[in-house]
Structure 1
Amino acid sequence: MHFDLDGADNGNLPLFLLFLAFVLTFVITRLITRLIRAGRGPFKNNVRGGVHIHHAVPGIILTIAGAFVSVAVGGSSPGAEISAVMVGIGASLVLDEFALILHLQDVYWSREGQLSVQVVCLTIAGLGMTVLGVNPLTESATLNLGPLALTVNLPIHIVSVLCCVGKGKFSTAAVGAFIPPVAWIGAIRLARPESRWARRRYSPQKLERATARAKAFDARFGNWGLDVEDLVAGKPTDHTPAAASRS
């Protein structure tokens, strides 16, 4: 991969810096929070006036500031690279507390808080494939069959990804956004039983089939996924197993 520091490249350097900043920030943030949780090192919770200021707050500020800088410089160097780093750091800090924002309560060390790790990992996968040049909105995504094939494929691709999201298959949707056949297969197969799609569209018999399939899938892969999340994020305070939202 070639980067032109004079800004004559096709935007790869800012994107690579954003990816690198995102990953490093997540790793460093999780290291610091785990040290705080263990009571080791010089780090303490950021409390001001009795208010615990979560790191999503500076993350939001950095993300917004980086977006403003990016628009202001119009892609010119070094502003594009600076804004990319700001957005990468800010977005990582925000998504690391995604579950906290979603639940509007501090679930950082609970099983529900592991959702943040899933979202961050999916984001890293998406950014990584983009850095490597995988773009679902180009003709290469349709095996170089030309603009007509792209025009026909794109609506199907988008609908398939949205179906995966509606069916509660978030990992499949993230991968399928870059690899269309994955999204197509996910859109055809049964939804997760806890998803809105299943609750609204499935008969009791079909919902029972979806539940059986989800239990079989989670029994085979779910514990492995939770073990990885515990390794990355630390074991949750409560050990009540939650239904994994993977497919």
Structure 2
Amino acid sequence: MAWFQERIIETDRLPLFCFFAAMVLAFGFIRLSVRLIRAQVRWWPGNITPGGLHIHHVVFGVVLMLIGGVASLAVPPDLVSARSVAGGIFGVGAALVLDEFALILHLRDVYWTETGRTSIDAVFVAIALSGLLLIGVRPIGIEEFYDFDSDPLIPHPFWWSVGFTVLNLALAVITLLKGKIWSGLLGLFLWPLIYIGAIRLARPGSPWARWRYRPDRRRGQRKLARATWREIRLRRPIIRGKIWFQELIAGRHS
């Protein structure tokens, strides 16, 4: 297709495209596999348990990420096909690792528990960020530095770009501390999100709320009450919709 040739191949994004496609397909396959295993479908191979040891697929993911990562560093830049294969291998490994991200985080098997939804969130974040890079959206600050170095006639001084980037990164940290993970991460590419996230109230239970919305202060009590109301009335319906979509793809958690 002309679009693929123009937007992917000619912009040298073919390795990134292979990484993105492999990660999405591998995540879909591994989730289908674990759902069939959980349903005890007879014709589908079960878990890999040599000598009674359950080898989780995160182990294979780490190995594939090492192979793909080292290969991408060793392959010369002009060998686009080889770099694309390495990107695909890395994408498969990333999907297997992120699918069991909650197990790594908690150091125990929480795959089918409510805590295990953290893995789905991690996969969705990785897909979203990779997709933004694939369509050409650059992280905040990258484009400013690039344009300044490539065109000295740009009126913005170098330190203005540095200050703008540092400000955005600080706001992104504040947004994350307020418990707004999606806004904080996507805001690294779409900077208006971090301005909105940094200004608005934090989510109850977030580090920012624990530090700033202290119940022994009247102003803190009011902010905590407003944040709790927003969490119950506004965010929970959205979260229920997100959980429904996640379980539609990944299976229902216990």
After TM superposition, the score normalised by the length of structure 1 is 0.86
Residue of structure 2 equivalent to 1:103: 106
Matched, 1:171 2:194: no
Residue of structure 2 equivalent to 1:27: 28
| Distance in 1, Cα, partners of 2:32 & 2:89 | 20
161-170 vs 56-65, greater mean Cα deviation: 161-170
| Counterpart residue type for residue 200 of structure 2 | R
Change (3 A) 1:140 1:224: farther
Larger Rg: 2
Pairwise CA distance, 1:9: 4.3
| Distance in 1, Cα, partners of 2:46 & 2:171 | 45
Relative to its length, the structure with more helix (as a share) is 2
Identity percentage over the alignment?
39
Change (3 A) 1:38 1:8: closer
| Distance in 2, Cα, partners of 1:196 & 1:141 | 35
Change (3 A) 1:159 1:146: farther
Residue of structure 2 equivalent to 1:200: 211
| Distance in 2, Cα, partners of 1:45 & 1:176 | 39
| Aligned 8 A contact 1:138 1:150 in 2 | no
Residue of structure 2 equivalent to 1:227: 244
- For the aligned residue pairs, the C-alpha RMSD in angstroms reads 2.4
| Distance in 1, Cα, partners of 2:30 & 2:196 | 36
| Distance in 1, Cα, partners of 2:156 & 2:11 | 21
147-156 vs 126-135, greater mean Cα deviation: 147-156
Pairwise CA distance, 1:23: 0.4
Residue of structure 2 equivalent to 1:16: 17
- Structure 1: stretches of 5+ with no match in the other structure: 238-247
Residue of structure 2 equivalent to 1:218: 235
Pairwise CA distance, 1:198: 1.6
Pairwise CA distance, 1:139: 3.5
Residue of structure 2 equivalent to 1:245: none
After TM superposition, the score normalised by the length of structure 2 is 0.84
Listed one character per residue, the Cα deviations across residues 16-38 of structure 1 (whole Å, up to 9, x for unaligned) are 11000010000111111111111
Residue of structure 2 equivalent to 1:64: 66
Change (3 A) 1:50 1:130: same
- Structure 2: stretches of 5+ with no match in the other structure: 148-153, 216-220
Pairwise CA distance, 1:70: 1.1
| Distance in 2, Cα, partners of 1:211 & 1:108 | 29
Residue of structure 2 equivalent to 1:45: 47
Alignment size in residue pairs: 233
| Distance in 2, Cα, partners of 1:100 & 1:120 | 14
